[in-house]
Homo-oligomer: A and B are copies of this chain.
Amino acid sequence: MTAPNTIRRLNAASPNFGEQLDHLLSWESVSDDGVNQRVLEIIADVRTRGDAALVELTQRFDALQVTSMAELILPRERLQLALTRITPEQRKALETAAARVRSYHEKQKQDSWCYTEADGTRLGQQVTPLDRAGLYVPGGKATYPSSVLMNAIPAKVAGVAEVVMVVPTPRGEINEMVLAAACIAGVDRVFTIGGAQAVAALAYGTESVPPVDKIVGPGNIYVATAKRHVFGKVGIDMIAGPSEILVVCDGQTDPDWIAMDLFSQAEHDEDAQSILLSPDAAFLDAVAASIDKLLPGMEREPIIRTSLAARGALIQVSDMNQAIEVANRIAPEHLELSVENPEQWLPQIRHAGAIFMGRYTAEALGDYCAGPNHVLPTSGTARFSSPLGVYDFQKRSSIIHCSAQGASVLGKTASVLARGESLTAHARSAEYRIKN
């Protein structure tokens, strides 16, 4: 048996399981008044002073000795140079992943549609790409080239003409893998700026940074707060919470594999959540033993240990039906169905960001290169939102083309309803189109 403080054990049959689960899942982003105030000041500064503010804020926050905006622009040639500075193996891995991500996302592209009614009236929707998208890429510690692929490729597949990337380079540190990924993904322009100032620049534009229509990509509390504030001026993706995985296992997968799958989520950060459901109590024991055996060898052991103790759980369920019920209650970001015949459970799964089917589909495969996006709804938001996709970089315009006959018929209905709402200009505008 594992030491009780490594990871908690729960049983769905216990009378207070509902409360225990609620407590385990509870996570609310803290909004910090101090952060909020500083972010508002930074946004106002960038709106007022443009490039000059960006240069100063980058000097201050990124400890960069720059004197002009020109030093904060990376030309396309610099991205190409990065391709030669990573290993051939890394370059091949990025290119393989990019090709698979592109191929999968091309199937998400939505087309305009239209139909004609008997009287000649035509109705439909015209689907168009955004003009310009902004991609925030964190610098410093957590530099994820895979995120560059996952955010930029759907935009380019959608047909976005210009993808603008911002990435801070604190103390001049540049991640060559990130630049190489940007090159492969087809990013059009890169600015080495970050934080709330980069978000403000993308939303409002400066002399050098073009304003974008939507900002996507992960970031720290300053970046997330800034994104909330510019929402409405531009589109944003979801504000992500900590990453989570829910593994459902029938007890027949190698417990070492499952332990490592749980670690792969827990290693992200101390708030990450790894939960395993199984009807097999002996299997839960075996996974607990694997956890204790494998943990000491892990490079990020302290983070994994903190995360598992704070937010992890091994939960015994009565059967697979109860497992699916709990999974729907959690609406996990990542759901791994490590069971014999995963297809049979799929129709019952109502809420999950991504579903990893069968014993071979480790979440890590999906994180990097299977094809689907790794930007997924967290903290139960899979109840109402979707993976990042091509559809996030397309929008629709309704098309209404009434024939003279169609307008005459519709005008009568519109007139009655408009008068029922006391909107008589609406009514009269419709009535002009009624034939005598």
Contacts and interface: CB of A to CB of B under 8 A. Distances in A.
A27 to B, nearest CB: 11
A399 B358 CA distance: 11
Given A264-B429, A362-B407, A425-B266, A352 B417 contact: no
A122 B421 CA distance: 52
A1 B102 CA distance: 58
Contacts of A350: 128, 131
Contact of A365 (B113, B360, B430): B430
A424 B298 contact: yes
A126 B417 contact: no
A239 interface: yes
Interface in A348-387: 349-358, 360-373, 376-377, 379, 381-387
A324 interface: no
A396 interface: yes
B90 A342 contact: no
A365 B407 CA distance: 7
B300 A424 contact: yes
A321 interface: no
Contact of A362 (B93, B401, B412, B433): B433
Interface residues of A, number: 120
A384 B376 contact: no
Contacts of A75: none
Interface in A91-138: 92-94, 96-97, 104, 107-108, 113, 115, 121-123, 125-126, 128, 130-131
A397 B349 contact: yes
A320 interface: no
A322 to B, nearest CB: 18
Contact of A360 (B234, B382, B433): B433
A423 interface: yes
Contact of A424 (B92, B299, B401): B299
A432 interface: yes
A400 B366 contact: yes
Contacts of A108: 125
10 contacts: A92-B416, A93-B413, A126-B355, A128-B350, A267-B425, A300-B423, A355-B397, A362-B430, A366-B398, A372-B398
